[in-house]
Amino acid sequence: MNRNRIGMILLLAVTVGLLASCRFFGASNRLLLNTMMDTFTETVSAATDDGILEAKGIYGKLNGNGNGIQYFGAALVKKDSVSDPDALISALKEDFEIVEITGQTGVRIESKYLEHTTLSYDTEPGEGEYLTILFFNSSHPASNNTDLAGH
């Protein structure tokens, strides 16, 4: 074989390896988000009378500059189903960096933590009063920053 052919084969092998590793790292960050969402929804469900109408989560470079994986989760609930918002926030802060409760109108989830993306509920909140309970983690020790979603 000539040198050019060997070089092309090596380049192809490295490219395939990099693409495969990016998929693996993305899967590990997706799994981490799913674990966070499970903890989040369990805590919110336990603290609300009617439970969660819908929950959404996303990871990647969500706001700010630079590189890194950030995590965001939101749950849509009826306002009157949250009997003690302060206790709920305290419980969530044990597991999440930032926790907020905001009013919700329309399907789009409005948050300063979603600077580089949009996230919407599938459920139209309707005329009643609804809340979005959200968490944001600017990083996580188990996240893999070689995931292309963090750039």
Q: What is the pLDDT, as a whole number, of residue 132?
A: 95
* Structural domain count of the chain: 1
- Whole-angstrom Cα distance, residue 48 to residue 134? 14
Q: What is the CATH number of the domain that holds 134?
A: 3.30.980
Q: What is the pLDDT, as a whole number, of residue 148?
A: 41
Q: What is the domain extent for residue 39?
A: 27-150
Amino acid at 128: G
DSSP-assigned letter for residue 53:
S
Q: What is the pLDDT, as a whole number, of residue 23?
A: 47
Residue 21 lies in a domain: no
Q: What is the pLDDT, as a whole number, of residue 7?
A: 65
Q: Consecutive sets of 10 residues in the chain, 151 residues long: mean pLDDT of each?
A: 67 56 60 92 94 93 76 94 94 95 93 90 84 84 44 40
Residue 58 lies in a domain: yes
Beta bridge partners of 70: 60
Residue 16 lies in a domain: no
Residue 42 lies in a domain: yes
Q: What is the pLDDT, as a whole number, of residue 98?
A: 93
Q: What is the pLDDT, as a whole number, of residue 60?
A: 84
Amino acid at 110: E
Residue 138 lies in a domain: yes
Q: What is the pLDDT, as a whole number, of residue 26?
A: 53
Q: What is the pLDDT, as a whole number, of residue 95?
A: 93
Contact indicator for 50, 16 with CB cutoff of 8 Å: no
- Show the beta-strand stretches assigned E in 2-149: 54-60, 70-78, 98-104, 130-137
Give me the numbers of helices (H) and strands (E) for the chain, helices first please: 2, 4
